Amino acid sequence: MPIKTMTPSKQQIDELRNMFIQKYENNPPAVDFHPVDIDRVRNDDLWCTRFLEMYDLDMQMSFDKLWNTCIWRQSFRANDLNESNVRKDYLQDGVIFPHNTDVDGKPLLIFKTKKHIKGSKDMNEILKVLVYWIERIHRETYMEKITIFFDMDGCGLSNMDLEFIKMIIDTFKQYYPNALNYILVFEMAWVLNAAFKIVKALLPEKAVEILKIITKKTIDTYVDKDNCLASWGGNDNYEFTFTPEVKKLKVNGSVPTEDPNNNVQDKKVHFANSSPTRVPAVAPIHMHEPDHSPQEQAMLEISPSDELKFSRDDSNDGEIKLTCKSSTPVAYKIQTTSPDKFRVKPRCGILNPGETVVVNILLKPEHKLSGNGKDKFLIMCVPALDVQPQHVVEYWRKVGQDSPDMENYRFLCSYTDDDKSTPKVIANGVGSSPVDNARDYVSVSATETRKLEKQLKFTQTLQWITLVVLFILSIAVIYLLKLQIVNDEGCLSKDGLADAVDFATCAKGKADL
């Protein structure tokens, strides 16, 4: 039976969604979350439902996990993993691949453990491959639950990598809540039992319910014969060969269709806030849509494109150049998360087609940038037909911030001497780079892994000692039995040698006496 969970109500789902959106608007992360993740929260109940189910409808816990998951997904670039940025040899070696479904129709994600040799691969790259397959399955099946299939047939101690298995468990445990239908372990050798007892201890309580140890005789309880590979005793002669993903596009909420260009690289654009939302009485989130290039279909061309730099010396000023690319006049307005720190001139205005304005932004001398990505600017623009420049403030009051024709552009503020190679992301209130976040959240703790491996080695040593002792005892028992048989034969012998035997020492002789 799959994991038993409590089903959240629509009201609880909306409550979690509203908590997320309110925090995103009032206290946004240093780096905007990916548009795909924002869209999932805003317009799809399934993702929020999974978090509530996993954490027993605990609203605060579900919210914290959802927020941290979005931070990790942005820093790890989970939505952007594709065949061009994942190691191809790892994709093609057949250690991890999806194929067929279980008895419930859920996709199988197969781990051919025999093909994995401990210490032979970069674990961060293996993690990318794992996340790539999970994301690809979710795109192709609309976030269907997954059954993990550990094919342990033919595995030895060299294939048993606790770090590899713990990485798989941690990834699902932390970032894919209630995403598993079963965890199937196929034909596990008895010598690996101790290791899997340790692994079992790492699983959350709910996951232990779906962990099943199976053999060729019992596999059809979870995977029918037609979906079983021939090596599992089934009818499928499939041999893995990697096939690139066929990208699909979602048009106006309709069923996804194949992308004719099959371009795996997502592009980004600042888009009009026209996407539907089911969140009542909460302002929509303004994000970037990954379907167009930055200046394609945009009303404004902006330079710099996404980050505003300030010097640490006395010249604490920056500038943003706005150029109207629309065929009609455009009204613009600039807002900031730290109005007490900055002086903006002009703050709003009208741009005619082809016209350019330079906006001067002064960081007041008595203030410094926060250093944690909290200082941001938002540029909004809308079409402005027949609007005079002197009436632009009144026009913005009339338009508000919910116009379906509005485009929004976000900017981070940083100093010119900040390290550009590792943009900072805030995780649990601590500044860290995306690489650090991925390691903090997903990479296996070296100390914990060493401890587990010591326990495994100790248990395996005890098993070998037990085998040796049993072997010695078996030899001793056989030897004693042989001696007994020889004695009995000697007592019953009728030839001349029988006279040399002390009749009283034989068991039969004693009985006759």
Residue environment code for 345-377, b if the CB has 16+ CB neighbours within 10 A, otherwise e: eeebbbbeeeeeeebebbbeeeeebeeebbbbb
Report pLDDT for 373: 67
Structure tokens at 277: 């939302």
Per CATH, which fold does 88-232 belong to? Phosphatidylinositol Transfer Protein Sec14p (3.40.525)
Return per-residue pLDDT of the chain as tens, 513 residues. Answer: 567 788 999 999 999 999 999 999 998 888 899 999 999 999 989 999 999 999 999 999 999 999 999 999 999 999 999 999 999 999 999 999 999 999 999 999 999 988 988 888 898 999 999 999 999 999 999 899 999 999 988 887 777 787 888 889 889 989 999 999 999 999 887 766 766 777 777 777 777 888 899 999 999 999 999 999 999 999 999 999 999 988 655 443 434 444 444 443 333 333 333 333 333 333 343 433 333 333 346 888 888 877 888 877 766 788 889 999 888 899 999 888 877 788 888 888 999 988 999 998 888 877 888 766 678 888 889 998 888 888 888 888 787 766 778 888 888 888 877 654 443 333 333 344 444 444 443 344 455 556 666 666 677 677 778 888 888 988 888 888 888 887 766 655 545 444 544 545 555 444 454
Q: Residue 24, exposed/middle/buried by CB under 10 A (0-12, 13-18, 19+)?
A: buried
Amino acid at 336: T
Asked if 334 and 348 touch (Cβ cutoff 8 Å), the reply is: yes
Identify the pLDDT of residue 1: 55
Give the separation between CA 17 and CA 318, rounded to whole angstroms. 36
307-310/269-270 β-pairing = unpaired
Q: Is the peptide bond before 204 cis (omega within 30 degrees of 0)?
A: no
Cβ neighbours of residue 32 closer than 8 Å, sequence gap 6 or more: 74, 287, 288, 410
pTM for this entry:
0.55
* DSSP H helical ranges for 27-156: 35-43, 45-54, 59-76, 88-92, 123-141
Rounded alpha-carbon distances, angstroms, from residue 102 to 17, 113, 183, 408: 32, 19, 11, 45
pLDDT single digits (tens) 417-460: 765 444 333 333 334 444 444 444 334 445 555 666 666 667 76
* Contact criterion met (CB below 8 Å) for 301 and 352: no
Q: Where are the beta strands (DSSP E) in 397-457?
A: 407-415, 425-427, 430-432
The CATH superfamily label for domain 300-415 reads Immunoglobulins (2.60.40.10)
